[in-house]
Amino acid sequence: MTTVANTVVELNQVTKEYPGGVAALRGVDLRIERGELLAVVGPSGSGKSTLLHIVGTLDRPTAGTVAIAGHDVATLTDRRLSALRARHIGFVFQSFHLVSGITAQDNVAEGLLYSGLTRTERRKRAATALERVGLGDRMHHRPHELSGGQRQRVAIARAVVGEPDLLLADEPTGALDSASGDAVMQLLHDLNADGATIAVITHDSEIAGALPRQVRIRDGQIVQDTLKDAHANAYADTQPLEQAGGEEPCHATD
Protein backbone atom coordinates (compact mmCIF):
# COMPACT_ATOMS: atom_id res chain seq x y z
CA MET A 1 0.00 0.00 0.00
CA THR A 2 1.27 3.47 -0.86
CA THR A 3 0.70 6.13 1.77
CA VAL A 4 1.46 9.80 2.06
CA ALA A 5 4.43 10.50 4.35
CA ASN A 6 2.26 12.47 6.78
CA THR A 7 -0.43 9.79 6.99
CA VAL A 8 -0.18 7.91 10.29
CA VAL A 9 -3.27 5.70 9.88
CA GLU A 10 -5.01 4.60 6.69
CA LEU A 11 -7.90 2.14 6.68
CA ASN A 12 -9.55 1.19 3.41
CA GLN A 13 -12.83 -0.78 3.37
CA VAL A 14 -12.00 -2.50 6.66
CA THR A 15 -14.39 -5.19 7.81
CA LYS A 16 -14.19 -7.23 11.00
CA GLU A 17 -16.41 -10.25 11.50
CA TYR A 18 -16.55 -12.55 14.51
CA PRO A 19 -17.78 -16.16 14.66
CA GLY A 20 -21.50 -16.41 14.18
CA GLY A 21 -21.55 -13.82 11.43
CA VAL A 22 -21.34 -10.83 13.76
CA ALA A 23 -19.97 -7.87 11.80
CA ALA A 24 -18.31 -5.40 14.19
CA LEU A 25 -16.96 -3.20 11.38
CA ARG A 26 -18.51 -2.77 7.95
CA GLY A 27 -16.37 -1.22 5.22
CA VAL A 28 -14.65 1.46 7.31
CA ASP A 29 -12.47 4.09 5.61
CA LEU A 30 -10.37 6.26 7.92
CA ARG A 31 -7.27 8.39 7.48
CA ILE A 32 -5.44 10.14 10.32
CA GLU A 33 -2.74 12.64 9.46
CA ARG A 34 0.28 13.49 11.56
CA GLY A 35 -0.47 16.10 14.21
CA GLU A 36 -4.23 15.50 14.38
CA LEU A 37 -6.31 15.37 17.56
CA LEU A 38 -9.58 13.54 17.03
CA ALA A 39 -12.30 11.63 18.79
CA VAL A 40 -13.74 8.29 17.71
CA VAL A 41 -17.13 8.45 19.37
CA GLY A 42 -20.05 6.07 19.56
CA PRO A 43 -22.34 4.21 21.97
CA SER A 44 -21.59 0.82 23.48
CA GLY A 45 -21.62 -1.83 20.77
CA SER A 46 -21.02 0.65 17.96
CA GLY A 47 -17.70 -0.89 16.92
CA LYS A 48 -15.35 1.76 18.31
CA SER A 49 -13.47 -0.73 20.52
CA THR A 50 -12.98 -3.03 17.54
CA LEU A 51 -11.73 -0.06 15.56
CA LEU A 52 -9.27 0.70 18.37
CA HIS A 53 -7.98 -2.88 18.22
CA ILE A 54 -7.57 -2.71 14.44
CA VAL A 55 -5.82 0.67 14.44
CA GLY A 56 -3.69 -0.41 17.39
CA THR A 57 -2.72 -3.61 15.51
CA LEU A 58 -4.04 -5.68 18.42
CA ASP A 59 -6.29 -7.46 15.94
CA ARG A 60 -6.32 -8.00 12.19
CA PRO A 61 -9.26 -7.18 9.91
CA THR A 62 -11.33 -9.81 8.16
CA ALA A 63 -11.13 -7.79 4.95
CA GLY A 64 -9.75 -4.46 3.79
CA THR A 65 -6.32 -2.89 4.24
CA VAL A 66 -4.66 -1.24 7.23
CA ALA A 67 -1.47 0.85 7.11
CA ILE A 68 0.22 2.30 10.19
CA ALA A 69 3.01 4.85 9.67
CA GLY A 70 3.32 3.62 6.09
CA HIS A 71 3.53 -0.08 6.98
CA ASP A 72 0.96 -2.45 5.48
CA VAL A 73 -0.14 -4.55 8.45
CA ALA A 74 -1.12 -7.51 6.28
CA THR A 75 2.48 -8.02 5.16
CA LEU A 76 3.91 -8.28 8.68
CA THR A 77 4.56 -11.39 10.77
CA ASP A 78 3.31 -11.35 14.36
CA ARG A 79 6.84 -10.57 15.54
CA ARG A 80 7.26 -7.63 13.19
CA LEU A 81 3.76 -6.46 14.05
CA SER A 82 4.69 -6.42 17.75
CA ALA A 83 7.78 -4.38 16.89
CA LEU A 84 5.67 -1.96 14.85
CA ARG A 85 3.27 -1.55 17.77
CA ALA A 86 6.08 -0.94 20.25
CA ARG A 87 7.75 1.64 18.02
CA HIS A 88 4.84 3.52 16.50
CA ILE A 89 1.82 3.29 18.86
CA GLY A 90 1.27 4.37 22.45
CA PHE A 91 -1.77 3.22 24.45
CA VAL A 92 -3.65 4.86 27.32
CA PHE A 93 -6.46 2.88 28.93
CA GLN A 94 -9.25 3.76 31.34
CA SER A 95 -7.83 1.49 34.05
CA PHE A 96 -4.22 2.79 33.81
CA HIS A 97 -2.52 -0.67 33.74
CA LEU A 98 0.33 0.42 36.01
CA VAL A 99 2.52 -2.07 37.89
CA SER A 100 1.63 -1.61 41.55
CA GLY A 101 4.95 -2.44 43.20
CA ILE A 102 7.25 -0.07 41.30
CA THR A 103 7.65 3.69 41.09
CA ALA A 104 6.11 6.02 38.55
CA GLN A 105 9.52 6.41 36.94
CA ASP A 106 9.97 2.67 36.52
CA ASN A 107 6.41 2.29 35.22
CA VAL A 108 7.16 4.84 32.51
CA ALA A 109 10.55 3.26 31.76
CA GLU A 110 8.72 0.00 31.00
CA GLY A 111 7.36 1.73 27.91
CA LEU A 112 10.92 1.55 26.54
CA LEU A 113 11.58 -2.04 27.53
CA TYR A 114 11.97 -3.23 23.92
CA SER A 115 13.77 -0.12 22.66
CA GLY A 116 17.27 -1.50 23.04
CA LEU A 117 18.22 1.32 25.40
CA THR A 118 20.12 0.71 28.62
CA ARG A 119 18.19 0.75 31.91
CA THR A 120 19.91 4.01 32.86
CA GLU A 121 18.83 5.68 29.62
CA ARG A 122 15.29 4.33 29.93
CA ARG A 123 14.95 5.78 33.43
CA LYS A 124 16.42 9.09 32.28
CA ARG A 125 13.88 9.37 29.49
CA ALA A 126 11.11 8.30 31.87
CA ALA A 127 12.01 11.15 34.20
CA THR A 128 11.82 13.60 31.28
CA ALA A 129 8.41 12.22 30.26
CA LEU A 130 7.08 12.61 33.81
CA GLU A 131 8.30 16.20 33.86
CA ARG A 132 6.44 16.70 30.60
CA VAL A 133 3.13 15.62 32.15
CA GLY A 134 3.67 17.65 35.31
CA LEU A 135 4.73 14.83 37.65
CA GLY A 136 8.41 15.53 38.08
CA ASP A 137 7.89 15.67 41.84
CA ARG A 138 6.06 12.31 41.91
CA MET A 139 8.42 10.07 39.96
CA HIS A 140 9.47 8.05 43.03
CA HIS A 141 5.87 7.48 44.19
CA ARG A 142 4.16 4.13 43.64
CA PRO A 143 0.70 3.98 42.06
CA HIS A 144 -1.15 3.58 45.38
CA GLU A 145 0.45 6.85 46.52
CA LEU A 146 -1.00 8.77 43.57
CA SER A 147 -4.49 10.08 42.82
CA GLY A 148 -6.48 8.71 39.88
CA GLY A 149 -5.62 11.72 37.76
CA GLN A 150 -1.94 11.36 38.60
CA ARG A 151 -2.00 7.65 37.74
CA GLN A 152 -3.50 8.48 34.37
CA ARG A 153 -0.74 11.04 33.81
CA VAL A 154 1.83 8.35 34.54
CA ALA A 155 0.08 6.11 31.99
CA ILE A 156 0.20 8.92 29.44
CA ALA A 157 3.89 9.51 30.15
CA ARG A 158 4.54 5.81 29.59
CA ALA A 159 2.62 5.94 26.30
CA VAL A 160 4.53 8.94 24.92
CA VAL A 161 8.03 8.27 26.33
CA GLY A 162 9.07 6.52 23.10
CA GLU A 163 7.63 9.35 20.97
CA PRO A 164 5.25 7.10 19.00
CA ASP A 165 3.61 8.21 15.77
CA LEU A 166 0.16 7.69 17.30
CA LEU A 167 -1.30 7.85 20.81
CA LEU A 168 -4.54 5.90 21.29
CA ALA A 169 -6.44 6.96 24.40
CA ASP A 170 -9.31 4.60 25.23
CA GLU A 171 -11.85 6.32 27.52
CA PRO A 172 -8.95 8.14 29.27
CA THR A 173 -11.27 10.00 31.68
CA GLY A 174 -13.69 7.13 32.36
CA ALA A 175 -12.33 6.31 35.84
CA LEU A 176 -11.77 9.92 36.90
CA ASP A 177 -13.78 12.67 38.58
CA SER A 178 -14.67 15.71 36.48
CA ALA A 179 -11.76 17.89 37.61
CA SER A 180 -9.18 15.14 37.04
CA GLY A 181 -10.77 14.27 33.71
CA ASP A 182 -10.59 17.89 32.57
CA ALA A 183 -6.92 18.02 33.56
CA VAL A 184 -6.16 14.86 31.57
CA MET A 185 -7.94 16.21 28.49
CA GLN A 186 -6.02 19.48 28.81
CA LEU A 187 -2.81 17.45 28.92
CA LEU A 188 -3.79 15.66 25.71
CA HIS A 189 -4.44 19.05 24.09
CA ASP A 190 -1.01 20.23 25.26
CA LEU A 191 0.72 17.13 23.91
CA ASN A 192 -1.06 17.60 20.60
CA ALA A 193 0.08 21.23 20.49
CA ASP A 194 3.63 19.87 20.86
CA GLY A 195 3.10 17.71 17.79
CA ALA A 196 1.62 14.43 19.09
CA THR A 197 -1.00 12.64 16.97
CA ILE A 198 -3.80 11.55 19.28
CA ALA A 199 -7.04 9.60 18.82
CA VAL A 200 -9.41 9.54 21.80
CA ILE A 201 -11.92 6.69 21.81
CA THR A 202 -14.97 7.66 23.85
CA HIS A 203 -18.72 7.31 24.28
CA ASP A 204 -18.88 10.84 25.73
CA SER A 205 -20.19 13.33 23.15
CA GLU A 206 -19.13 16.27 25.34
CA ILE A 207 -15.50 15.12 25.34
CA ALA A 208 -15.67 14.41 21.61
CA GLY A 209 -17.19 17.79 20.86
CA ALA A 210 -14.25 19.59 22.47
CA LEU A 211 -11.78 18.03 20.01
CA PRO A 212 -11.01 19.42 16.55
CA ARG A 213 -12.31 16.37 14.68
CA GLN A 214 -15.04 13.88 15.49
CA VAL A 215 -15.45 10.51 13.80
CA ARG A 216 -18.81 9.07 14.80
CA ILE A 217 -19.37 5.34 14.48
CA ARG A 218 -22.59 3.36 14.74
CA ASP A 219 -23.37 -0.26 13.90
CA GLY A 220 -19.84 -0.77 12.62
CA GLN A 221 -19.91 2.11 10.14
CA ILE A 222 -18.63 5.67 10.22
CA VAL A 223 -21.75 7.82 10.03
CA GLN A 224 -20.05 11.20 10.39
CA ASP A 225 -16.55 12.58 9.99
CA THR A 226 -16.38 16.32 10.65
CA LEU A 227 -13.12 16.61 8.70
CA LYS A 228 -14.74 15.24 5.55
CA ASP A 229 -17.78 17.45 6.15
CA ALA A 230 -15.53 20.51 6.42
CA HIS A 231 -13.71 19.62 3.20
CA ALA A 232 -17.00 19.07 1.38
CA ASN A 233 -18.34 22.44 2.53
CA ALA A 234 -15.11 24.19 1.57
CA TYR A 235 -15.27 22.63 -1.90
CA ALA A 236 -18.90 23.69 -2.34
CA ASP A 237 -18.00 27.25 -1.37
CA THR A 238 -15.42 27.44 -4.17
CA GLN A 239 -17.83 26.39 -6.95
CA PRO A 240 -19.28 29.16 -9.18
CA LEU A 241 -23.01 29.71 -9.04
CA GLU A 242 -24.79 28.44 -12.13
CA GLN A 243 -26.62 31.01 -14.19
CA ALA A 244 -30.35 30.44 -14.31
CA GLY A 245 -31.45 29.05 -17.66
CA GLY A 246 -27.86 28.79 -18.87
CA GLU A 247 -27.91 32.37 -20.23
CA GLU A 248 -24.93 34.67 -20.24
CA PRO A 249 -24.96 37.18 -17.37
CA CYS A 250 -26.10 40.68 -18.22
CA HIS A 251 -23.59 43.50 -17.96
CA ALA A 252 -24.62 47.02 -17.10
CA THR A 253 -23.75 49.68 -19.70
CA ASP A 254 -23.46 53.44 -19.45
59 exposure class (CB count in 10 Å sphere: 0-12, 13-18, 19+):
middle
Q: CA–CA distance from 243 to each of 204, 226, 248 (Å)?
A: 45, 31, 7
* Full pLDDT tens readout for the chain, 254 residues: 444 579 999 999 999 999 988 999 999 999 999 999 999 999 999 999 999 999 999 999 999 999 999 999 999 999 999 999 999 999 999 999 999 999 999 999 999 988 889 999 999 999 999 999 999 999 999 999 999 999 999 999 999 999 999 999 999 999 999 999 999 999 999 999 999 999 999 999 999 999 999 999 999 999 999 987 776 676 566 666 554 444 444 444 44
**Torsion sign across C-alpha atoms 133, 137, 143, 149:** negative
CA distance readout (Å), 213 to 33, 36, 39, 108: 12, 8, 6, 29
CATH of domain 7-232: 3.40.50.300
d(CA 134, CA 187): 9
Length of the chain: 254
4-14 burial code (b ≥16 CB/10 A, e <16): eeebbbbbeeb
Give pLDDT, residue 114.
Answer: 82
CA dist., res. 68 & res. 86, Å (int): 12
CA distance 173 to 177: 8
Determine the pLDDT at residue 242.
54
Containing 150, the helix (H) or strand (E) segment is helix 148-160
pLDDT at 115: 85
